[in-house]
Amino acid sequence: MVRLRPNLLHYSTLYRFHKYAAVNDWQQRVVEQFLAHKAAVSKAQHSGSSALPSEAPTPTILTFSPQPAYATGRREIDSLTPQQVEEMKTPMPAPAKWDASNVADILPTLRGGQITFHGPGQLVIYPILDLRAVKSGLWPKGLGVRDYVNLLEETTIRTVGRFGINATRTENPGVWLTEGAKGERKIAALGVHLRRNVTSFGVGLNVATDLRWFDRIVGCGLVGKGTTSLENELPEKDNPRDQIQQISKWWVEEFVRGVWGPEGSYESWRLGDLSQSDNEPSNWHAPGQVLGRL
């Protein structure tokens, strides 16, 4: 029996807190697979060869919750003052919400935008796909950049809506809550990078994040804007802390539906050591130690 290839592969490391740098390295390895395939196709077409490269990598999503880290945009890290760096590296005092480091790493990334925080209790979602190659009944010509950003926001809004929370867009990037006495507050940050239409980075949804980390920065450069989480917005009896894996699957379901429609398919897998690989190049899987299905 021939195994049908899914539209998307979802990998999760949510059962452990990896260093953000390790996750970012894994992401770049997957991006390079996409870029190498595009380069091989282009070379074959220009040479007039009838032998095209093997199938393109499968669109991929990584969901994770890392050790504490402040991630900057590609040109921002040199603008941080020594005082800012010292404050960000100061250990977070107890009580800590999670059994993780209480000292944050600081590192630059390739994405646009300004500094943000990633850490335990946050659902970080990094889709990696070729926007122009993703063709479906909904997107017969592939996705444009604006289409893609809207899709990330709408997917997050729908996922948060499963808890009865009315999230929305504003003039600022990300997903926001605007109702109630707390004022305008961001529940999910958004930052992407594209190279030859191949995406990286994505969404950071605060599920049960320790919001004190955000007090040390001006998140995404937006002065005077608050930050919140699902845990902060929901009654204690509805605490989403133990639902982060399920929330990640809801997000992936919504994303697949938004790209391929109700007939879209995906598989979810659990990753172990991100630096290892159990996969032969001919396999569908991205790099990393694949531990089994979710």
pLDDT in tens, 88-131: 999 998 766 788 899 999 998 988 778 899 999 999 999 999 99
Structural contact between residues 119 and 66, judged by C-beta atoms closer than 8 angstroms: yes
Strand, coil or helix: 22? helix
DSSP for residue 92: P
Report the pLDDT value the prediction gives residue 280, as an integer from 0 to 100.
46
DSSP secondary structure string for all residues of 163-205:
TT---B--SSSSEEE--STT-SEEEEEEEEEEETTEEEEEEEE
Question: Could you give the percent of the chain with pLDDT greater than 90?
Answer: 64
Q: Annotated catalytic sites, by residue? A: 220
Query: pLDDT tens digits, residue range 251-293?
Result: 999 999 999 999 999 999 998 878 766 554 444 567 777 778 8
Tell me what pLDDT residue 103 has: 94
Q: Cα torsion at 94, 95, 100, 106 (round to 10°)?
A: -50
Instruction: For 202-222, write each residue's pLDDT tens digit.
Output: 999 999 999 999 999 875 556
Each as own residue / partner, the long-range contacts of residues 169-172 (CB below 8 Å, 24 or more positions apart, any chain) are 172/220, 172/222, 172/225
Q: Let me know: does 64 contact 14? Beta carbons within 8 Å.
A: yes
Which parts are annotated binding residues?
111-118, 189-191, 202-204
Q: What are the residue ranges spanned by the domains of the chain? A: 8-293
Pair of tokens at residue 249: 């699957």
Residue that is written with structure tokens 């946050």 in the block: 122
Q: Is the pTM of this model over 0.95?
A: no
pLDDT of residue 281: 41
Q: According to CATH, what is the number of the domain 8-293?
A: 3.30.930.10
The encoded tokens of residue 179 equal 């109702």
pLDDT for residue 242: 85
Q: Using an 8 Å Cβ cutoff, are 140 and 158 in contact?
A: no
244 backbone φψ class: left, alpha, beta (φ>0; ψ -120 to 50): alpha
| Known binding-site residue numbers for substrate | 111-118, 189-191, 202-204
Percentage of the chain lying above the pLDDT 70 cut: 89
Residue pair 188/122 in contact (Cβ under 8 Å)? The answer is no
Q: Which helix (H) or strand (E) holds 105?
A: strand 105-108
Chain segment 130-154, per-residue pLDDT in tens: 999 999 999 999 999 999 999 999 9
Q: How many residues in the chain?
A: 294
- Selection from 217, 239, 237, 242 nearest residue 227 by Cα: 217
